[in-house]
Structure 1
Amino acid sequence: MLGCLSVIIPVWNEIDHLRPLLETLSKHKQIEIIIADGGSTDGTAELASEYGQVVSSKRGRASQMNKGAEAATGKILWFLHADSKIEDHMAQSICFTMEDSNILGGGFSIQFDDSSFLLKMIAVGSNIRARFFHIYFGDQAFFVRKSVFDEMGGFPKVSLMEDWLISKKMKKRGKLQHLRGPIYASARRFKKNGIIRTFVTMQLIKILFVLGVSTATLERVYQRERL
């Protein structure tokens, strides 16, 4: 059953955060693990090679995930962040869900690895967006049929918001499934820059994107805030 699944993890200098996820995934011997490295200099690629196939790509989540998808042999692609924490049952949940040929892909409910009330509320908002509007961001463990992904040409070649764009395209093609999970996302970027400041900046980027501001401009905002 799990032989259907290829996991793709885009990384760049994630030596301090990657091993726990790889350890969990490696328990499932049938899962194909592909690490798409964007030019790490801290030993990330060397660590990753102990657990799966490492492919090199120019830096950028969309580019890296597309490169990883090119190397994948599974019928289902599962995209994970390097610092995600997953439960053992989640891979099997995806494969069982995707036995329904009407389902093209989906994602999971999210929780943060921090007990802050503000972060809990942010997670609630993300889960409402995913469950009712089927817009999945990267930390919600997006999965998709490889055939559908290839037909769409992969992630759009943009510097950010690629997950929003591909979710919108997939919604027009068919059904997306929200799985409860949850997947545990790292709160490190919120802790680094402050929860409220980080949240406000992220929402601003989304609003500007909807209003038609170019992704190149949004990338400068993103980098200035170092999210």
Structure 2
Amino acid sequence: MRPYGKIRHVDSLSGREHMVSSTGVWIVGVIPGDEAVPLSERFASPAGRRPAIPGHADDREVSFTSQPGQPTSAAGRLIDLILSHGPIPDTVRDALMALYPAEEGPGLYVTAVRKVRPAVALRYGLEAEGVSSSPGWLGDFLLTAEEVRQVLPLAEAALALTAPQRAAVLARIDEWMSGLGESPDFDVAELLDRPLGVLRHASENGAGAAGLTAWY
């Protein structure tokens, strides 16, 4: 059994999961290049290759009140929009889980946060422009080795930020985590650095890469 267990997709489409005692999981890992091509055809349109989220950039309501940092209805609308893509087929999910490295390291990032979806927190931090350069549909994606090489420059532009832009993005991620989550010691910088590190590792080794989200 791999150390992070078998992740199953258990999304509710209500967009209000943060109101109950639950945990968001995000896995980003390399997969063998020769396995990525046939899987990508099964993964394609339902979840993995949709464009970046439309519409939210036009939502002018702030997502959190300044005091005491409580979520507004805009935060709920963002979650609703993100969850509208529906689940990844279990057969594809199980196949990807079997291909990930057995241990965390340069080729595997696994994070779990109480009452928060980590990939959604990253999306909130990056805002619409940064997300448009990110692969997949908010945490769920599958890239062949060739696609990793194509996507990596865009991911570098979106995630390899310098001050003060990096500080602003990290502050927004922390705002989401603090407003909705229960993990005060979570290292928000990991959400920028670790997934990008996995993509770099995949590119250097001629591998594919895949991301999966889950909600327990």
TM-score, normalising length: structure 2: 0.27
Higher strand share: 1
Identify which of structures 1 and 2 has the higher relative contact order when contacts are C-alpha pairs closer than 8 Å and 6+ apart. Answer: 2
